[in-house]
Structure 1
Amino acid sequence: MQTLGYAAKTSGSALEPMAFDRRDLRPEDVAIEILYCGVCHSDLHTVRNDWGFSTYPVVPGHEIIGRVTEVGSAVTDFLVGDHVGVGCMVDSCQHCDQCHGGEEQYCREGMTQTYGSPDRVTGDITKGGYSKHVVVRQEFVLNIPDGLDLSRAAPLLCAGITTYSPLRTFGVGPGSRVGVVGMGGLGHMAIKLAVALGAHVTVISRSPSKQGDAEDLGAHAFLVSADEGAMEEAANGFDVIIDTVPVKHDINPYMPLLDIDGTLCLVGQVGPLDEPMTVPMIMGRRRVAGSLIGGITETQEMLDFCGRMDILPECEMIRMDEINEAFERMEKSDVRYRFVIDMASLSA
């Protein structure tokens, strides 16, 4: 099947239209017409080869909402016309302990990412959701709950599950005290999800000017990290802190905020941090952890939860041909809080 997408040909090039072929359906495959695709900071990093492992041409996009157009002969869970989602992975080995445990993102043989990974059968490099169509193994296709706004649901497939998974892993529920560092695409979802799970949520920010936005998103409190007195008063006040900052930064100011056995979980920065001080960890049995996305079962759980609680990202809709400008704005944090591409604009 020939389709059209937007691709970066080199690390220094802008995204531009590119026609390419999607594979013929295997028995377990689902063909999807893409309706909307979220724009993630990881897309920008991959296009720029910031992490050093990009393969060109790269068609980004791993927050996909679409409509099923065809199913393979062995597909049992989806019908033509179903509204579905695809997140950050499209395959895994399916036989290791992590895959059997519903943690495909930690597949022992490595998950197949939605873009930039070799296909497990052909070796062809996968291409993502900045395109009109995608073909995905049925085990990695997700049901979109009825009533969830399709035009705003796409970022749930990465920003949503990236923050939901550690909240669930570390037992956040009614009475939990959660801090959120950073209030971008990930951070604003962490706030909404933690509030819906019953936690008392505090946004931790350097800038007092963001307090109104934090309250609009549902946060119960706001802590200015540059205010030494306020930080001292907040010591031992959190069970979990979700750190969404996507660049190298200093986590030391946040560690004393955790109560004994508290956890600071990194979900933003992929790479180095400033040198950590171990004293707060040792003296309070505090932990620094990391988390990737979630498995397929947990991602479906998150989507169903958002459907029940009417949780959706705050989105700005763009045309496909506005993607390079959107990347520039995203670098300046000039988006509230996630771009979503209307794929109808690609054919136009």
Structure 2
Amino acid sequence: MTLTVPALAAPAANEPLVRTTIDLRTPGANDVAIDIKFAGICHSDIHQARDEWGVGLFPMVPGHEIAGIVSAVGSEVTRYRVGDRVGVRCFVDSCRECTNCLAGEEQYCLKGEVGTYNARNYDGTPTYGGYSTAVVVDENFVLGIPDGIELSEAAPLLCAGITLYSPLKNWKAGPGKKFAILGMGGLGHMGVKIAHALGAEVTVLSQTLSKQEDGLRFGADHYYATNDPTTFTELENEFDLIVNTVAANLDLERYLGLLALDGTLVHVGIPTEPDQIRMFWLASQRRSIAGSKIGGIRQTQEMLDFCAANGIGADVEIVSIDQVNEAYERVIRSDVRYRFVIDTATFGTETPTDA
């Protein structure tokens, strides 16, 4: 038996998303069925729906920032009950046996983690994401959303939040550390909020000062425009850690020059073209360049609990199902402050059917 539910899908690369239905598996013994309430729109949804990374499986139902309510649980589920507030993030399975999985770093599974959408389960069946009204996920890949965070504001934490929390924790941002966030978009605004709550001295490096008021409200101590050449002389050798959220090729040598001794530039925004630097900029102050994806399940739950304890949620604009294609264009134009979230109630009152 399968469950047929409404969804929004890209039928093919570069085609507008359209309403459709998808079939979900009947929950197994270890599965949790979730009524999706909100689904965040991540820029990577656009990349994949338009097949800009060249790995599109169509029809594709995007969405890996999922917040909802448990509607059913399998017979062996122990972590969740019907009615619990839960979330699903960027992947829904991993091999659970490799060194990285056993270390709680499932996002780096050596066999390859199973993406929430645009992927195949290990049995070959396709995965479908959060632009729908329901999802079925193994309980080991479901997160509990604490009280104190609105579900709409929690959804983007499942990607944007953990994407910033993970490098901030791994590179020990906190009291006495000077941290800079490069870019003040959906990722960057979460970096400001989380780094401030961790106790770091926070600087925003944005192309212009247009979002300065927001940055300071989120907790930034300083705000600089990167289109001002004096920024790079004034802040030379300043930071212990810079996290780059910009998915475009930049003059990395300019930003490496802002790092202090043993400073690290961590990339979470991934451009499509390779970068090139001279090793002098690393050797001169023992600097490092690194990359980071997201956190594992354990760290993601830690992040959610941290955000709840510190009153942190994403700043969101809620859109309907019929506004998603427009929202995609606005994301590309950077016309959102700071994350779009789909209200799945706008699918209407159509009742899921068993087949």
TM-score normalised per structure 2: 0.96
RMSD: 1.1
Give the match for residue 18 of structure 1: 20
Give the match for residue 232 of structure 2: 231
Aligned match of 1:106 in 102, 108, 116?
108
Amino acid at match of 2:81: L
- After superposition, give the CA deviation of every residue in 1:2-50 in whole Å (9 maximum; x if it has no partner): 1110000111210001111101112111000000000000000000101
Question: For 2:46 and 2:264, how far apart are their aligned partners in 1?
Answer: 29
Offset, 1:270: 4.3
Question: For 1:212 and 1:24, how far apart are their aligned partners in 2?
Answer: 48
Question: For 1:175 and 1:58, how far apart are their aligned partners in 2?
Answer: 45
Residues 203-214 of structure 1 correspond to what in structure 2 (within 5 A)? 203-214=204-215
Query: Aligned to 1:312, what secondary structure does the other structure show?
Result: coil
1:275 aligns with 2:273: no
Query: Aligned to 1:79, what secondary structure does the other structure show?
Result: coil
Offset, 1:264: 0.5
Give the match for residue 245 of structure 2: 244
Question: For 1:52 and 1:310, how far apart are their aligned partners in 2?
Answer: 39
Give the match for residue 182 of structure 1: 183
Query: Runs ≥4 in structure 1, deviation > 6 angstroms?
Result: none
Give the match for residue 51 of structure 2: 49
Offset, 1:74: 1.2
Query: Aligned to 1:94, what secondary structure does the other structure show?
Result: coil
Query: Aligned to 1:254, what secondary structure does the other structure show?
Result: helix
Give the match for residue 87 of structure 1: 89
Question: For 1:230 and 1:88, how far apart are their aligned partners in 2?
Answer: 35
Question: For 2:6 and 2:137, how far apart are their aligned partners in 1?
Answer: 17
Aligned match of 1:28 in 27, 30, 50?
30
What runs of 5+ residues in structure 1 fail to find an aligned partner? none
Query: Aligned to 1:280, what secondary structure does the other structure show?
Result: helix
Offset, 1:210: 2.8
Question: For 2:14 and 2:49, how far apart are their aligned partners in 1?
Answer: 8
Offset, 1:99: 0.7
| Contact 1:223–1:231 (8 Å) recurs in 2 | no
Amino acid at match of 1:181: L
Aligned match of 2:76 in 69, 74, 77?
74
| Contact 1:249–1:273 (8 Å) recurs in 2 | no
Offset, 1:282: 1.0
Give the match for residue 42 of structure 2: 40
What runs of 5+ residues in structure 2 fail to find an aligned partner? 350-355
| Contact 1:250–1:273 (8 Å) recurs in 2 | no
Question: For 1:48 and 1:225, how far apart are their aligned partners in 2?
Answer: 30
Query: Aligned to 2:72, what secondary structure does the other structure show?
Result: strand
| Contact 2:248–2:269 (8 Å) recurs in 1 | yes
- After superposition, give the CA deviation of every residue in 1:189-222 in whole Å (9 maximum; x if it has no partner): 0010000000000011221333222212211001
Question: For 2:278 and 2:272, how far apart are their aligned partners in 1?
Answer: 18
Amino acid at match of 2:223: F
Amino acid at match of 2:121: D
Offset, 1:164: 0.4
Alpha carbons of structure 1 residues 103 and 307: separation in structure 2 relative to 1, 3 Å: same
Question: For 1:277 and 1:317, how far apart are their aligned partners in 2?
Answer: 44
Give the match for residue 65 of structure 2: 63
Residues 94-173 of structure 1 correspond to what in structure 2 (within 5 A)? 94-121=96-123, 123-173=124-174
Amino acid at match of 2:134: H
Query: Aligned to 2:327, what secondary structure does the other structure show?
Result: helix
Offset, 1:167: 0.3
TM-score normalised per structure 1: 0.98
| Contact 2:89–2:158 (8 Å) recurs in 1 | yes
Amino acid at match of 1:271: T
Offset, 1:347: 2.2
| Contact 2:183–2:207 (8 Å) recurs in 1 | no
Give the match for residue 289 of structure 1: 290
| Contact 2:315–2:338 (8 Å) recurs in 1 | yes
Question: For 1:10 and 1:230, how far apart are their aligned partners in 2?
Answer: 44
Question: For 2:149 and 2:191, how far apart are their aligned partners in 1?
Answer: 18
1:201 aligns with 2:202: yes
Question: For 2:175 and 2:88, how far apart are their aligned partners in 1?
Answer: 30
Offset, 1:235: 1.2
Amino acid at match of 1:46: Q
Query: Aligned to 1:22, what secondary structure does the other structure show?
Result: strand
The aligned length equals 347
Question: For 1:243 and 1:274, how far apart are their aligned partners in 2?
Answer: 13
Give the match for residue 352 of structure 2: none
* Percent of paired sites with the same residue: 49
| Contact 1:98–1:106 (8 Å) recurs in 2 | yes
